[in-house]
Structure formats: C-alpha cells, structure tokens
Amino acid sequence: MPLKIAIIGAGPGGCMLARLLQQNSIPCTIFESEKSIDFRSQGGTLDLRQRTGLQAMKEAGLWDEFQKHARYDGESLIICDKHQKIWLKRAGRDANEKPKPLTMEAPEIDRPVLREMLVRSLPEGCINWGYKLNTIKDDLSLVFENGKTESGYDLVVGADGAWSKARKFLTDVKPTYSGLAGYSMTINDPEKIVPEIYKFVNRGSIFAFGDKRSLACQQMGDGTLHASSYAQFPEDFAQTCGFDVTNAEDMRKHLRGELGDWSPELKAIFEKSGDPVAWRNLYMLPRPFSWEHKDGVTLIGDAAHLMTPFAGIGVNSAFNDALILCRRIVEYMKSGASEGLGSYIEKYEAEMFDLAHEAAGLTEGSMNDMMFTEGAPRSRIASYVSRHASAEFPPWAHPLVSTAVHTGYSLVKLFK
C-alpha cells in the first residue's frame, strides 16, 4: 500500500518536502494554518547555498524556474561598523559568471517569490488552507482548530515553524528568548530617497554592527530595500516601552536614541523607512537540541532547529532537512518495507541532528561575535569570518582556514 504522509505547514521547508516527494511519485497532503498564499507578508530576501538550498532546487526539478528569479548580483555583501568602516566585502556577479575562488555561491531570492514558486509547483489540492493544527493524538489523528480531524497517516512531518504544535508530540522543550529584538522596515524608491545607501547596498546586502547593535539593509527584487535593526532588549519591551513599536515615527525616535552616533548615511536607513514596521523578538531552541524518536512523527526546519538569523542559513537548513528526509522515505519504499518506516526516519533524524547542531553552533557563534561582544565588529571579525569560511571546508582544513583568516585580519587591523 502507498504511504499516507501529512505535512504540517506550507512554508518553504514543507513545500520543498512535498515537491521532492511528488518528484519521486510519493503523494502527500499539506495542512496550512493560513487561509491562502497571500494571507500574510513573508519577509525579506534570502540566499540559497550550493550544498543545501541550491541542491534541493535541482533535485526538486525547479532549477530552471529558480533561475528566472535568482539574483546573482545580490551576492554583493558588506559587513561594516557604525562609521561605515568596511571589514568584509564580497562582490556580486552575473548569473553566468562563476564564483571567485574561496567564495561561496549564494544567489538571492525574495522569500515571497520563493514560497509562491514552491506552492505553484505542487498539484492542485495538495495544500489544505485554513487548517491550523491543535494537537496530534497518539494514534496520529490530527485535530485542527477548525473542528476537523484527519487520520490514517503513516507519517506526520511537522514543518510548522518556531512554535510548532507538532513538536509538542515529541518533546516539551520550547524555544527560549535570545535576548535580542528589533525592527524590520521598508524603504520604497530608495534610488531616489536614499541614493548614498542605495549605492552602498549595491543590489546586495549590508550588515552594520556596533555597540552590540545591528543595522542591516537588503535589496529586494522589486527594487525596495528591506531593513532591520536588532539590539538587546527585555523580552516584554514592546509591551512595556510606552510607545507603539509598529509606528514608523515612534520607531525613528527610538532609533535616534539607540543609534545616535552612527554615520548619517546608515541612520538614513531608518530615517527614510516607512510603514509597515514590525517588531520581532528572536527565539531559538537550545543547543544541542534533539528528541527521543517516536514512530509516526518527525520535524524539519524551524520546528526541528530554530535559530536566530545571524548566519543566514535557516531556509537552507530546512531545504536540506527535506532532501535528507525524502531520500530516507524513498529508500524505505525501494526496500519493499523489509524494515519499518520508523527505522528510516530514525536515520534521517540522526543525520539531521548532526547537521543542525553544526548550523546552530555557527549561528550562535556569529550572534555572540557581533551582538554580545565589546568592540565588535573589529574585535570579532576574524572569528566571525573564520566560522563562516570553515563551514565551507572539511573539518581537517578548519585549523588552516582559521589561521589564514586570523593572520590576514591581524595585518588588516594594522592599517585600520
């Protein structure tokens, strides 16, 4: 008999898993809490990495479609301090131009565009909209807040994000507050309104750090700039600060105090940003995080390994989870069910945990380097770059990479 698989959540990870399963003639059903694909804003831009996100696109048969939307010039990246002193710079490139040696491939795509592409790739009726999960019962029955219950599944995959209801079936562990929170905002028509910053962003991304605060700006596919600013705040700051953190003018007044001595060009990012403004607390699951295997339910993406965005690998990790899980399910199908499905899911979880713990370490280390260390980015740029560079090489090469990076920045600092 064919497997009956339910996926909870139609975010990028859940849709990628569904697409990969469909490519292998394994049907599945997605249950999504939102009422439609356009129910809420899906955030800013993200980059896909060669061994994870881009590999998933290829195996999902979506490479050609992805190329229509990928922005290779968006690989342009600058990390600077609050005075715009540059500590890391990477150029963008043309789609047909190969990455420079030791430079990772990371084309950008807008999150809403990516999600729509994935949703449109699925067969009609695959996604059930307006199904918010309430609980999973011991017999794997799915109870939804709309009053409906679905049952008879061989496997339920929780791809339902940070506050996953599916996770509750496996563990009582909940995400914890990272200590960081802040604003996200948008600059419309930036070439006209903030020409200096528009030129500085160079169709890519800038990340400015200083005084344990951040200010970032990224070019979107429609030409707008998506901006954000994070710092250390109490978890309940939005409720106790005495002003409306979603009001653009209140946001500007607050950041004038927080970032008063930053360069005028960088301050123009929030001075020229407008509605909508959103406040976001950053949460993460503990590291290392795992759960005791239970037959019938597993997790992918943020549901399995919620991280802060300081390494920029969240969606890539979710796509890699989908790749690994799909491969294990296909192995089970080809085995003629000589072993139970649960043994193959355990193999997926073991591999996923190893990779997720590495990713969480990279993310937490990057966050601590820039947001919890005095003197950053100058004091921690070598550590930060070494973390990210080492992640692209096998473990035996890590000491060599670290030595090269720290030596290089020791020389750079003599002149800065």
- Top CATH class of 178-283 equals alpha beta
Cβ atoms of residues 161 and 174 within 8 Å: no
Show the tokens assigned to 79: 């990390």
Query: Residue 230: its pLDDT value, please?
Result: 98
Rounded-to-integer distance, Cα 215 and Cα 263, Å: 11
Domain 5-68+110-175+287-363 is classified in which CATH homologous superfamily?
FAD/NAD(P)-binding domain (3.50.50.60)
Query: Residue 44: its pLDDT value, please?
Result: 78
Tens-level pLDDT at each residue, the chain (416 residues): 689 999 999 999 999 999 999 999 999 999 999 998 875 566 678 899 999 999 999 999 999 999 999 999 999 999 999 999 999 999 999 877 877 655 678 999 999 999 999 999 999 999 999 999 999 999 999 999 999 999 999 999 999 999 999 999 999 999 999 999 999 999 999 999 999 999 999 999 999 999 999 999 999 999 999 999 999 999 999 999 999 999 999 999 999 999 999 999 999 999 999 888 999 999 999 989 999 999 999 999 999 999 999 999 999 999 999 999 999 999 999 988 768 999 999 999 999 999 999 999 999 999 999 999 999 999 999 999 999 999 888 899 999 999 999 999 999 999 88
Rounded-to-integer distance, Cα 66 and Cα 72, Å: 12
DSSP state of 78: E
Q: How many residues does the structure list for the chain? A: 416
Say whether 178-283 and 5-68+110-175+287-363 share the same fold. no
Amino acid at 362: L
Amino acid at 111: R
Q: Report domain extents, the chain.
A: 5-68+110-175+287-363, 178-283, 380-416
Amino acid at 190: P
Rounded-to-integer distance, Cα 190 and Cα 279, Å: 22
Which is nearest to 134 in space by CA: 124, 147, 118? 147
Query: Residue 322: its pLDDT value, please?
Result: 98
Query: Residue 37: its pLDDT value, please?
Result: 83
Show the tokens assigned to 13: 């990870």
Q: Which residues contact 297 (CB under 8 A, 6 or more apart)?
A: 136, 140, 155, 156, 157, 158, 166, 169, 170
Q: How far apart are the first and last CA of the chain?
A: 67
Task: Give pTM, 2 decimals.
Answer: 0.95
